[in-house]
A and B are shown apart, each in its own frame.
Chain A
Amino acid sequence: MLLEVEGLTKRYRRGATPANDAVNLNVEAGQVYGLLGHNGAGKTTLVNQIVGLIRPDSGSIRIDRHDVVADPGFARRLCSIQPQSQVPIDGLTPRQAIEALGRLRGGDRRVVASRTAALIEYLDLGEWRDADGARLSGGVKRLVSFCMAAVEPGRVVILDEPTNDVDPVRRRLLWAQVRALAAEGAAVLLVTHNVIEAERSVDRLAVLDHGRVLTEGTPAELKAGIADDLRLELVLDPEASAIETPQFAGPHTVVGNRIVATVPERMAGEAAAWARDLRRNGRIEEFSVSPATLEDAYVALVGSTTASHAAAIAINPKEDANVRAA
């Protein structure tokens, strides 16, 4: 194991709920490891302890069998990080910023220059190569800060929400580069709350909730619990009255004007017929039935936050209680 985290606990104030609570984690070289969780689940706290910005209360962090809690300088030499916050590069151009970071991480001038050019080319950032960092859009800045972590990568590469604000086309390019980092031998720790993208890109993942690891495994293992379920998604008509989900549906979540629920595979026909009826009566705009995703497994694990529209829609009270309990 290249990165080993054991029993890591951190409280910001004495007596407060821990931001990290006995977290265990192992990432191998060549692996992309996802760290999933809601806002405030303790993901960034974990990352900051690995690179030595925060000292853990207890537990250990080892990189290549070296105790980095005792020697944070070692961690910084071995880890390259893309932080969650934007890296301010005002006054610098993307090329200057990426090259500077490569060289600050000890890279040879020519190697860094050619790798910078390759990354800019691959992520289709040529248009902004020599533009002032202050004028870049959020998504372009995000990609530049990814390049700053990837140009002279450490043996451990930590990416904290790398795809935020990035357009769908460049997201795909970015994920390919993340995989490439692992293929070249880095252990990639990827922090995200984008479960759908994580499903396609990570080898293993841990779900963090209130500082604890709820579950850990491959995406397939995490989906095993709902493997026989289908995902029923309804887009509500904003004018329509309340909808009660049928008895055969599992816990549902509401985000905006969408309701997502799992249904057993054997009830697929009934579910589709029920949804078609709703559409015919103008109560929903559209629906879909598809295989359950990692996101459904994730929601089943940690529950979900519901958006404003939920208040306007009366939800089956019994089902709602189930979601909360989950």
Chain B
Amino acid sequence: MSALRSYRLLVVWQARRMRMFLPLGIVVQALFALGIVAGYPLLFPALDRTTILYLATGAPVIALITMGLVAVPQMVSAAKTEGTLSYMRSLPIPRIVYLLADMTVWLAVVIPGVVFAVVIASIRFGLDLQISPLVVPAVMLVALTATSIGYALASLVPPMVANMASQVLVVFILMFSPLNFPADRLPGWLATVHSVLPIQAMGEVMRGTLDTNSFPLTAGAFLLLGAWCAASFAATGVVLTRRA
């Protein structure tokens, strides 16, 4: 049976399985974006243009990352616990196809939130964003990387640990990652950490494609992200194929 046919059937299977969750997931993603755009300004007495631009372009990235690093590990851990993962592994389907099908459904959940975040920020702050067509590959790369890391995390560690880790990651991403603020505000050591982690690069590729006038787009960020994506995708592939 062709991989493409398996992929199609699995996407339908997963979409149906998550039928109840899909609309809810989309609403939560949208609320999340709305919260960042409308809620963060409450923290600051006056908003300058830089702050506004960071908030507007940070919101969609945060929507993408939290989906991959928080929702995915939780759902994959649940699938592990209830035995879905083993069942899927016992079927004559290439593991990579299973992973890609799963990611496709995740992407469908997160995209409306991303679009909504950009639209709501533009309206709220009256922005005229210069969006590059490169935003499409940027979104795909960020989503794929975040989901792969989330998947690898959930596959490698026990469900309890994965859930705890995903909670810690939320705080780290929201408060201590240069997504809603420039990286130069970080203390030196944290800036160094972020220069190798994928989070800052995710912010950079999204910002650079969402408003080409205000932010530079560097090949370095794409490369770093590509490396993380490949590594975590490979790790997940290995874990899914591994026999106990």
Chain A contacts to B: CB under 8 angstroms: 12, 51-55, 72-73, 76-77, 79, 81, 83, 85-92, 96, 100-101, 103-106
- List which B134-183 residues lie within 8 A (CB) of chain A: none
Q: Find chain A residues with CB under 8 A from B6 CB.
A: 104
The answer to whether B17 touches A92 (Cβ under 8 A) is yes
Asked whether any CB of chain A lies closer than 8 Å to the CB of B19, the reply is: yes
- The docked-state distance in angstroms from the alpha carbon of A113 to that of B72 is 33
Q: Find chain B residues with CB under 8 A from A90 CB.
A: 17, 20
**Known pairs A104-B93, A105-B92; A91 contacts B87 (CB<8 A):** no
The answer to whether B10 touches A104 (Cβ under 8 A) is yes
Shortest distance in angstroms between B231's beta carbon and chain A's nearest beta carbon?
Answer: 24
- Contact partner, B83, options A86, A96, A106, Cβ 8 Å: A86
- The docked-state distance in angstroms from the alpha carbon of A77 to that of B244 is 20
Q: Find chain A residues with CB under 8 A from B86 CB.
A: 53, 83, 85
The answer to whether B87 touches A92 (Cβ under 8 A) is no
**Known pairs A92-B13, A92-B16; A106 contacts B244 (CB<8 A):** no
Considering the complex, give the chain A residue whose CB is closest to the CB of B22: A91
Q: Which 10 A-B pairs have the closest CB atoms?
A: A55-B243, A85-B83, A106-B1, A76-B92, A77-B92, A91-B19, A91-B17, A51-B90, A54-B244, A88-B84
- The docked-state distance in angstroms from the alpha carbon of A163 to that of B50 is 65
Shortest distance in angstroms between B13's beta carbon and chain A's nearest beta carbon?
Answer: 5
- The docked-state distance in angstroms from the alpha carbon of A177 to that of B166 is 45
Shortest distance in angstroms between A18's beta carbon and chain B's nearest beta carbon?
Answer: 14
**Known contacts A90-B20, A104-B10, A104-B93; 11 further A-B pairs (Cβ under 8 A):** A53-B90, A53-B244, A72-B243, A73-B92, A85-B86, A86-B83, A88-B87, A91-B17, A100-B12, A104-B91, A106-B92
Q: Find chain B residues with CB under 8 A from A77 CB.
A: 92
Chain B contacts to A: CB under 8 angstroms: 1, 5-6, 9-10, 12-13, 16-20, 79, 82-84, 86-87, 89-93, 243-244
- The docked-state distance in angstroms from the alpha carbon of A234 to that of B90 is 45
Shortest distance in angstroms between A151's beta carbon and chain B's nearest beta carbon?
Answer: 13
The answer to whether B90 touches A76 (Cβ under 8 A) is yes
Shortest distance in angstroms between B144's beta carbon and chain A's nearest beta carbon?
Answer: 24
The answer to whether B16 touches A91 (Cβ under 8 A) is yes
Considering the complex, give the chain B residue whose CB is closest to the CB of A93: B16
The answer to whether B18 touches A88 (Cβ under 8 A) is no
Considering the complex, give the chain A residue whose CB is closest to the CB of B6: A104
Interface of A is mostly: loop
Q: Which of B5, B10, B86 has most A Cβ within 10 Å?
A: B86
- The docked-state distance in angstroms from the alpha carbon of A96 to that of B93 is 18
The answer to whether B243 touches A53 (Cβ under 8 A) is yes
Shortest distance in angstroms between B158's beta carbon and chain A's nearest beta carbon?
Answer: 15
- The docked-state distance in angstroms from the alpha carbon of A55 to that of B92 is 17
Q: List 27 A-B contacts (CB under 8 A).
A: A12-B244, A53-B89, A54-B244, A55-B243, A76-B91, A77-B92, A81-B90, A83-B83, A83-B86, A85-B83, A85-B86, A85-B87, A87-B84, A88-B83, A88-B84, A90-B20, A91-B18, A91-B20, A92-B13, A92-B16, A100-B13, A103-B9, A104-B1, A104-B10, A104-B91, A106-B1, A106-B92
**Known pairs A53-B243, A100-B12; A87 contacts B90 (CB<8 A):** no
- Contact partner, A83, options B9, B18, B87, Cβ 8 Å: B87
Q: Find chain A residues with CB under 8 A from B17 CB.
A: 88-92
The answer to whether A87 touches B243 (Cβ under 8 A) is no
- The docked-state distance in angstroms from the alpha carbon of A178 to that of B92 is 22
Shortest distance in angstroms between A313's beta carbon and chain B's nearest beta carbon?
Answer: 39
Considering the complex, give the chain A residue whose CB is closest to the CB of B5: A103
Q: Find chain B residues with CB under 8 A from A73 CB.
A: 92
Q: Which of A73, A86, A90 has most B Cβ within 10 Å?
A: A90
Q: Find chain A residues with CB under 8 A from B20 CB.
A: 90-91
**Known pairs A53-B244, A86-B83, A92-B17; A100 contacts B9 (CB<8 A):** yes
- The docked-state distance in angstroms from the alpha carbon of A30 to that of B86 is 27
Considering the complex, give the chain A residue whose CB is closest to the CB of B2: A106
- The docked-state distance in angstroms from the alpha carbon of A106 to that of B90 is 14
Q: Find chain A residues with CB under 8 A from B1 CB.
A: 104-106
